Chain A
Amino acid sequence: MSELEQLRQEAEQLRHQIRDARKACSDSTLSQMTAGLDSVGRIQMRTRRTLRGHLAKIYAMHWGTDSRLLVSASQDGKLIIWDSYTTNKVMRRSSVVFSFILRYLSCCRFLDDGQIITSSGDTTCALWDIETGQQTTSFTGHTGDVMSLTVCPDSKAFVSGACDALAKLWDIRDGMCRQSFTGHVSDINAVCFFPNGNAFTTGSDDATCRLFDLRADQELMLYSHDNIICGITSVAFSKSGRLLLAGYDDFNCNVWDTLKGERAGINTCISFTLKSISALFQK
């Protein structure tokens, strides 16, 4: 038997063991436990503002902590900061160039005022010191492009989603991967922590979103429908976590009842694919 084959068999055996251990903890399902819970009812949302100004695809946006300003980033090379109440542009900047990464940067999040975490198409994530511009920690382990990351509310860990169909939980301090979550069968494009920090959601090219629990180390819920066949590009929770907002490649934003797994609403964007969702009222 070749060395490669031997390694493969050992790995398969460990995967089986992990699968069995997860099954042993699977004494119930989230669906069963919420069977008697009242549905959240139809969630209808209305477009309140349209912010025009970018000249090309907008790939990312994020709300400021004041829940009024937001920043958007576009393929046109610009960052624009908007006042969402008035739709005025507060600031326009050419994207600041941080040429640290050899492959494309897929996601970037502030850990605190002095550090950012990035994910990259080179399969790694990295922690950076903004002042020195140096990489403090490298997070290696994914075997596919890392598409998205979400920082835990306690700032001690983060979760990454990648094209190897895995979501990984990383310890920021020591750079180690603590847990790897299986379930998706295609690229994971988006991840978002549940507000209490004990779970997170993922959105994938396999047309499903999933809820993973850190302590049970497994998937708790699948959000899918036979009518939905396109990939998810962005995910976010409402403030209580009861609603899961997901942006799809077919121009829709579906609102899911996180606890019951049912769809609670659909919002259609007429002319664009949702690339980024950042739910207001997170603070």
Chain B
Amino acid sequence: MARDMSDAEIMKMELEQLQKEVKNTREPVSKSAKEICEWVETQSAEDPLIKGVPEDKNPFKDKGGCIIT
């Protein structure tokens, strides 16, 4: 773990990782961002925080209170 390593050992570890990551393939932002938007659109109708929860289906809605007369 990094706590027990010398500065040189940490540098070497970081360098090896960078050498791996520089080879990663990357997709255009336009493509992945579009997919995120499309995903959200298909799921929004089922998102209770977006469409709300009908009163009668909301288990957290306050029940009618008691009135003491």
Contact = CB atoms under 8 A, between A and B. Distances in A.
A70 to B, nearest CB: 12
B2 A123 contact: yes
Interface in B35-65: 35-37, 39-40, 43-44, 46-50, 59-62
Given A3-B8, A85-B59, A241 B22 contact: no
Interface residues of A, number: 66
A144 B1 CA distance: 10
Contact of B29 (A10, A198, A220, A258): A220
A8 B12 CA distance: 9
Nearest to B46: A239
Contacts of B28: 25, 27-28, 216
A18 B20 CA distance: 11
B1 A216 contact: no
A195 B43 contact: yes
Interface in A18-44: 18, 21-22, 24-30, 33-34, 37, 40, 43
Contacts of B27: 25, 215-216
A241 B32 contact: no
A216 B26 contact: yes
A254 interface: no
- Could you say which of A22, A37, A220, A239 has the most chain B C-beta atoms within 10 Å of its C-beta? A239
A143 B60 contact: no
B31 to A, nearest CB: 8
A3 B15 CA distance: 13
A194 interface: yes
B7 to A, nearest CB: 6
B60 A85 contact: yes
Interface of B: 1-3, 7-8, 10-15, 17-22, 24, 26-37, 39-40, 43-44, 46-50, 59-62
Given A4-B8, A213-B36, A238-B48, 5 more contacts: A4-B11, A85-B59, A196-B35, A220-B32, A220-B36
Nearest 10 CB-CB pairs, A to B? A240-B43, A240-B47, A48-B60, A14-B18, A7-B11, A28-B30, A123-B2, A238-B49, A215-B27, A239-B47
